[in-house]
Structure 1
Amino acid sequence: MTDPAEPTRYDFEFPDEAGYPDGTGTLSQDQVVLIDEVLDDPHAPAFDFDVVKNEEFGSYDAIVGDREVGVLTYNRVGDDRLVLLATSVFPEFRKQGVATELIRRVLDDVRAQGKTVTILCPIVRTFIENNPEYADLVNTEHPGVVRRAA
């Protein structure tokens, strides 16, 4: 049995700018499903999709044919940092590796641009914790959400 004081895969502390007065936020069921995907099935997606950066709306869109299947939203801060806000995948495309691959491609694009990230999305935080080769992209002054300590 797990100690109730022990942090779980869903315990995060959010920075003040995330808007949670107590520094913690309740994850939605959608976020829990995507965190489980990133942790439990980090393999290639079950199907191919394109990722389109939409600078006007501040999003990276996962597209299959002419249909959007997922999105990672962001805000730009200056010329050298993106704040990664939220990852979502339409329900019928979950548990197929879309979130994992979308995050990987977004972070690869950030690296190619020479930028850093502040993470407000717990799914992206979970991905980076499990893929430490991307940890250098996290802005050291403004890292964003972190896993809650015990």
Structure 2
Amino acid sequence: MAQRHKALAAFPTLLRSLRNPSSQKPFKPSSLPSLRFTDTGFTVNGVQYEGSLLCVGNMVLSWSPRKWSEVIPESLSVFQVLRPSPDILILGCGRNIQPVGPELQQFVRSIGMKLEAVDSRNAASTYNILNEEGRLVAAAVLPYGAQD
């Protein structure tokens, strides 16, 4: 119970720091992930992940959508609180490029990111290249074999 009170007491400070971009230090990743695709998931720095992934800087997170129709603004809501905000979001659509609806486009623009929707093979390559260039980039990628 004491841990819960301690965590709740720290929560407002955490929210203030997330909302205040001036308190953020410049992005300098310590270990950039190298993203490679498989039919059912991805390999990041030699570790195999099944399913969809969100990659930002040196973070790799499991991502809930399993097919293109599940990629909606709510599935990308983590970007509303993530600071510093990435410059670009690379959306890996699976085997084929998919059209991005106006609602998703508006959501990504409202966060201040540019959006590039490509197949997952090209998404992995583009993410790796931009990361190597030192750009703050995010990738939200469906497995290459994802069907809709």
Same fold (TM over 0.5): no
Relative to the length of structure 1, the TM-score reads 0.30
TM-score (norm 2): 0.31
- Structure with larger Rg: 2
